[in-house]
Amino acid sequence: MKVIYDPATDTLTVLFSDAPVAESDEDKPGVILDYDAVGNLVSLEILDASHRVQFPNRIEYQTAPIPA
């Protein structure tokens, strides 16, 4: 997984896969979901990110504990 913030376009992109994008859908205004040829989510793009995300250039990564 890769997260990219582009301040020039004010776009925040989360890439889940390197698969080619076959279809895009603007699920909500300013939120674009990209899918591969079989319908798997490839990426999530947030337009005007600085207006939608509090700190688009800062990332906090956390994993949930593995149950025993």
26 three-class SS: strand
The tokens 């990426």 sit on which residue?
43
> pLDDT per residue over 2-61, tens digit each?
999 999 999 999 999 999 999 999 989 999 999 999 999 999 999 999 998 888 778 888
9 three-class SS: coil
Q: Please, which residues bridge with residue 7 across strands?
A: none
What would the mean pLDDT of 64-68 be, rounded to a whole number? Answer: 87
What are the sequence ranges of the domains in the chain? 2-44
H helix runs in the chain, sequence order: 49-52
